[in-house]
Amino acid sequence: GWLNSFLNQGGNLYMEGMRTWHEDEPTILHPRFNLETVIPGNYFEIDRIEGIEGQITSDISVDYSGSMPFNNHYLQATDSSFAILESGLDTACTVASSISNYKTIGSSLLFGSMMNADSVPMKSSYAMSILSFFGIEIQYVDTPENDVHEEPNMIEVYPWFD
């Protein structure tokens, strides 16, 4: 398929979802992520996600609240891959792999299900970690939000033309 060709040409790929690593029929892409699915024999709840010390995600610590927080498998790194996120059970839920000409990240988590009071900064940090791992440099500009003024009818508009 075209994603396999994309990796062959030096592309990077992030793939997430519980079903893709366990229930769905594997595609020719799955082995390229260098991870295995481990089935412990019972269901467990993923309610907290932690980054792994020394990895690109070491500053991540976030609650997880997906529509299906219960899982019956976890991921295990193989070959040259390594875990970058784990659940509170010390089981990998996201694995990164760096091969000579491409990089992959496979996750059983859903990015949108990471949530708590600090979820926006945590999601941003996680997204930046992924981009950094893939060697994608971005520059973002902070723009100030609308400030609350003591005089509510006072509005500033720029640029001002006479």
The chain-wide mean pLDDT, for the chain, equals: 83
- Upstream peptide bond of 144 is cis (omega within 30 degrees of 0): no
The residue that leads in pLDDT, 19 or 142, is: 19
Global pTM value: 0.81
CA-based R_g, the chain, Å: 20
CA distance 113 to 133: 21
Instruction: Give the range among 53-57, 111-115, 143-147, 158-162 with minimum mean pLDDT.
Output: 158-162
Q: Which of 98, 111, 105, 104 is nearest to 49 (CA)?
A: 111
Question: Which residues fall within 8 angstroms of residue 29, CB to CB, at 6 or more apart?
Answer: 1, 3, 4, 7, 13, 15
At residue 110, the pLDDT reads 86
pLDDT in tens, 7-19: 999 999 999 988 8
CA distance 21 to 65: 19
Percentage of the chain beyond pLDDT 70 is 80
pLDDT band per the 50, 70, 90 thresholds, residue 122: confident
pLDDT in tens, 70-104: 778 889 999 989 999 998 667 889 999 998 899 99
